[in-house]
Chains A and B, each alone.
Chain A
Amino acid sequence: MTDPALLVALPLVASALPALLALVRERLGWPLAVATLLAQTALALAVAGRVLREGRVVTDLGGVPAPYGIRLVVDGLAAPFVVLVAVAGLAVLAYTRVGGPRSGPFYSLYLLLVAGATGVCVTADVFNLYVFLEISGLAAYGLVASGGRGSAALAALRYLLVGTVGASLYLFGVGFLYVATGTLSMARLASVVASGSADPTLVLAGVALVSVGLAVKMALYPVHGWKPVAYGAAPAGVAAVLAALISTVAAYALARLLLGVLSVRFLRLYPVVETLLVAGGGASVLAGSLLALRARAVTDLLAYSSVVQFGVVVLGVAAATPASVAGAVVQLVGHAVMKAGLFLAAGVLAASYGVETIEEYGGLAERAPVTSAAVAVLAVGLIGLPPTVGFAGKLYVAVGAAAAGAWLSVALVVVSTLLSLVYFGRLLQRMYVDPPSGAAGDDSGAASLGMRGSVVAAAAAAVGLGLTAAALERVLAPTLEVLL
């Protein structure tokens, strides 16, 4: 039962059911999604366990070997993301049961998103990666629109336009790579590129297009515009699951392509790739921070903070040392947990007190002490203070970048910490020290135990992952040794 194919097949098949069953009974979607993702989580853990024992797990769909069949591979780099997608998907369900949306079609899209995101993590083929990216993308557009408001539809449309451009750029780049190497399989691509028989100009052009396409999905500056709009318009549960999964798997794909397909040797041979990555990551860190400083709505603040965090991830990938890549993975997993938790917290607070802007958060700590404490822990984690997972991620990236002599990246990581202190500090000071703004209503019963529990669980996970970062490091170590 530890076949990676099931990881994609299970949520994909199950995604058809909630919409159909909704014709019978509207409320069947949630239990079905929970059952599916419980099974998915168990499966993901089982596969990850096998990866730990065997190094990597490979399967050819239908027994048809590559290059004709579809090959799926889970190695040490993919395993944390497979588990993350399943667990995050499951955890956010605790919020949506009461927090909504509750319709059958919503849960169909939700499971489709999980299927697509998992597919991105396990595929061993650059074209199939595009397919899975689009599956998850289309589901995401639909989910954003599920907010039901007019602004949600508009945000979804904007997200769809930008996202499709990104996916198309990616596909365009895959075309270049195919022309240069004659293959779409990641393993074959890697060996052809390594042999030097491919035209480097074509390969570089392909890589550039693929990277820009994925940068759109990751919302790096300056192609970040969809993110605050989409997160702001989407229901909190959707924003949380999107923040946890969409950009995360795109960043995973970037790391996979740069390190697994191109190889570090190629990157060292053409330092322009690293230069551009550092430029993109650095621009995201600085511009994202400045935008976050100016943000007024809490969801905008969170969205811009994501731009910064993904900038740090890119810096970690660009440095391409074991520590920096491990840091990028820790950062991605940690960011997913913490940002999802913060979006859920924002949802809880919006449902209970009707607050949406930083201004309106004044004095909330007195009225919602538990949720506020969770927000404080999560924000401190995103700032990168110990002992949270955010600290571990930034430390690893900084140490790894320093080992590679990438001093600019080290400085950018430190600067990102400093600036995040300012914008998250502003939020926390508002909540804890400033007097109530008076604009807030009070309907503290609106948030269910599950909604608040999911926020607290995220905060606990942020600390727990921070203390066990070394375990994640161990999972990654054998794979990174091969890749780097």
Chain B
Amino acid sequence: MTASWLPAVAVGLPFAAVVPIYLSRTRPNLREAWTFLAGAGAFVAVAATVSPVLDGARLTAATGVSYLGVPLALSVDPFGALFGLLAATLWPVTSLYSVGYVRRLDEHAQTRYFAAFAASVGSTLGVAFAANLLTLFVFYELLTVATYPLVVHEESAEARDAAAKYVAYTLSGGAALLAGLVLLSVAAGSLSFVPGGLDGLATDPTLARAAFGLLIVGFGVKAAVVPVHGWLPSAMVAPTPVSGLLHAVAVVKSGAFGLGRVFMYLYGPDAVRELGVAAPVVGAAVLTMLGGGVLALRAESIKGALAYSTVSQLSYIVLGFALAAPTAAFGALLHIPAHAFMKITLFFAAGAVSVETGAKSIRKLPGLARRLPVTLAAFAVAAAGLAGFPPVAGFVSKWYLVLGALRSDLPLTAAAFLLAGTLKLLLFWPMVAAAFFEEPPRSIGRSGASEAAADAASLPDGGAHGDVDARGGRALDSLVAESSPALLVPVALAVAGALLLGLVPERLPFWDLARAVVAEVFA
């Protein structure tokens, strides 16, 4: 336990940024500068925690507030650092993308958007660095409140319904979490995160099981585990950067992160085995992986497909934790950043496609790679990664997940990973193939469907950029013309991250942090 300002700075900066963002609402450039300033500061603070944490220090910041003797405090351990580093890395990238996205579309209520975004990231970092379950719960609930304005952003009837559904699901999950927290405090007498689990859970197995169930449901809602996943596809009504960072990374990963805390730091592998509580979670996770994969195939919009793919992928992580075995847990930990980079690439690409061409439906993809080659190349790489192909991040994490499953008590679950990967292939291959190898719908008039005509009408509305394409010729021109740098650079950065995580995973801090987690939990 080393007292340190770093976690407080990392969590505090995004929250603090809300005030200047709001105050400079009439000057968009200054307003966005605050976001980047806070993002850079938070990133530096989080990055600075990594090496001391790997050396065994636990950087702790107390707030002085406590409830029933449980302090609200921040503390960075390897698991928290892994998740915090991910959120702090992707926030500035997403902010750049957000700037490009909302300005290009001339979105309304941009100040509210950026303020809520900052508060959401602050809450996510709070979840990552929470020193105990009570603190985590506080930030987990704040995250719900802070993300609500982002989901409802569009203010259409559909957005309002989706946001209401989102809040109903997540705050109900919060209530379950609160109940589980109360029971756990009675059962174990502590809410601290202890590597390998709390002592004394075996004294009252019924109570410990009840608490476990409530905690799993509470975190399972945000991790979108079937049957409490319904909010996620609806919430895709939010602007694409929101879907990208929050609904593929921060919110759902907070749920998965919470499950990791429950499995590894509150109950621990031994208690999970003794209490026999893992089986239902394993069942739900397998069902979610496969069910989400199948539902994704039926989606019509690109974002819908991505949403169901997220539902499926998140349960990779859940299953990895639930197997309560070191290799599987290592795979799950690696899959947190791996899925984040791949999925955010897909969302960024999908957003760029919709900004540039207006295409939101999968049916409008054919031939789009000619218009947006870089964007769709990134999309293809990330999609391959999600299906588990090397050399993308998804291969490495899935390798360890499959290996861990084979070495666990339930080797058959390895088949679920492989099957789910196949479903991803079935989902993404037609999309990629259509974008790259099919002709634009204008020339496939033979289909005769009225939609095709509508598609054709909406497709070439790239405006000035379309003219550049028509002029044809130089590659550099078409690259610049593909989209604005604010949209393209984040896509490139995200896909580069996904590739690095697949090519040199052990060079990145996530690897060492994941190993440190496994070492301290399964010691």
Contacts and interface: CB of A to CB of B under 8 A. Distances in A.
A370 interface: no
B182 interface: yes
A395 B67 contact: yes
A429 B167 CA distance: 11
A425 interface: yes
B167 A425 contact: yes
Interface in A152-211: none
Given A399-B182, A425-B164, A386 B152 contact: no
A386 B142 contact: yes
A434 B65 CA distance: 36
Contacts of A470: 65-67
A403 to B, nearest CB: 6
Given A396-B67, A417-B178, A433 B152 contact: yes
A392 B72 CA distance: 12
B141 A421 contact: no
Contacts of B145: 380, 385
Interface string A372-416: 000000001000011100011011101100110000001100100
Nearest to B152: A433
B500 interface: no
Contact of B175 (A380, A414, A468, A469): A414
Nearest to B167: A425
A457 interface: no
B186 A403 contact: yes
A402 B72 CA distance: 21
A469 B69 CA distance: 11
Interface in B66-113: 66-68, 72
A394 B134 CA distance: 13
A378 B172 CA distance: 20
A418 B175 contact: yes
Contacts of B185: 399, 402
Contact of B137 (A386, A396, A473): A386
Given A395-B182, A399-B182, A387 B65 contact: yes
B67 A398 contact: no
Contacts of B152: 433
Interface string A429-451: 10001100000000000000000
Contacts of B163: 433
A300 B203 CA distance: 47
B294 interface: no
A467 B163 CA distance: 29
A402 B171 contact: no
Contacts of A387: 65, 72, 138
Contacts of B141: 385-386
A323 interface: yes
B465 interface: no
A410 B182 contact: yes
A402 B183 contact: yes
Contact of B179 (A396, A414, A421): A414
A323 B178 contact: no
Nearest to A417: B175
Interface in B444-472: none
A433 B171 CA distance: 18
B188 to A, nearest CB: 12
B68 A473 contact: yes
B169 to A, nearest CB: 11
A464 to B, nearest CB: 11
A1 to B, nearest CB: 32
Nearest to A395: B67
B155 interface: yes
B360 interface: no
Nearest to B140: A386
Interface residues of A, number: 30
A398 B160 contact: no
Contact of A399 (B68, B138, B160): B68
Contacts of B178: 394-395, 398, 414, 417
B182 A418 contact: no
Contacts of A395: 67-68, 178, 182
Interface size classification for chain B: 20 to 34
Nearest to A435: B155
A385 B145 CA distance: 9
Contacts of A392: 67
B182 A402 contact: yes
B182 A429 contact: no
B172 A418 contact: yes
A323 B69 CA distance: 11
Nearest to A323: B68
A211 to B, nearest CB: 26
Interface in B171-196: 171-172, 174-176, 178-179, 182-183, 185-186
Given A402-B182, A402-B183, A410-B182, A396 B68 contact: yes
A392 B70 CA distance: 12
A398 B175 CA distance: 12
A379 to B, nearest CB: 11
Interface in B412-462: none
Contact of B171 (A391, A399, A403, A421): A421
B160 A429 contact: yes
Interface in A306-333: 323
Given A392-B67, A399-B68, A473-B68, A411 B142 contact: no
Contacts of B186: 399, 402-403
Interface string B492-514: 00000000000000000000000
Nearest to A330: B67
Contacts of B164: 425, 429
A117 to B, nearest CB: 28
A470 B65 CA distance: 7
A226 B182 CA distance: 35
B144 to A, nearest CB: 8
A190 B66 CA distance: 34
A399 B179 CA distance: 9
Contacts of A429: 160, 164
Nearest to A421: B171
A159 to B, nearest CB: 34
Interface in B124-150: 137-138, 141-142, 145
B62 to A, nearest CB: 12
A398 B179 contact: yes
Interface centre among A398, A414, A429, A468 (most CB of B within 10 A): A414
Nearest to A397: B182
Nearest to B149: A432
Nearest to B138: A386
A402 B160 CA distance: 37
Nearest to B139: A386
A417 B145 CA distance: 15
A484 to B, nearest CB: 15
A410 B141 CA distance: 19
Contacts of B138: 386-387, 391
A433 B68 contact: no
B93 to A, nearest CB: 29
B137 to A, nearest CB: 7
Interface in B269-306: none
A467 B66 CA distance: 8
A398 B141 CA distance: 17
A467 B64 CA distance: 9
Nearest to B214: A414
A12 B395 CA distance: 78
A346 to B, nearest CB: 22
Interface in A262-308: none
Given A398-B182, A402-B185, A411-B179, 16 more contacts: A392-B67, A395-B178, A396-B67, A398-B179, A402-B182, A403-B186, A410-B179, A410-B182, A410-B183, A414-B179, A418-B171, A418-B172, A421-B172, A429-B164, A469-B67, A470-B67
10 contacts: A385-B141, A386-B138, A387-B138, A392-B67, A395-B67, A402-B183, A421-B171, A422-B168, A429-B160, A429-B164
5 smallest beta-carbon distances between A and B, as pairs: A386-B138, A398-B182, A402-B186, A414-B179, A470-B66
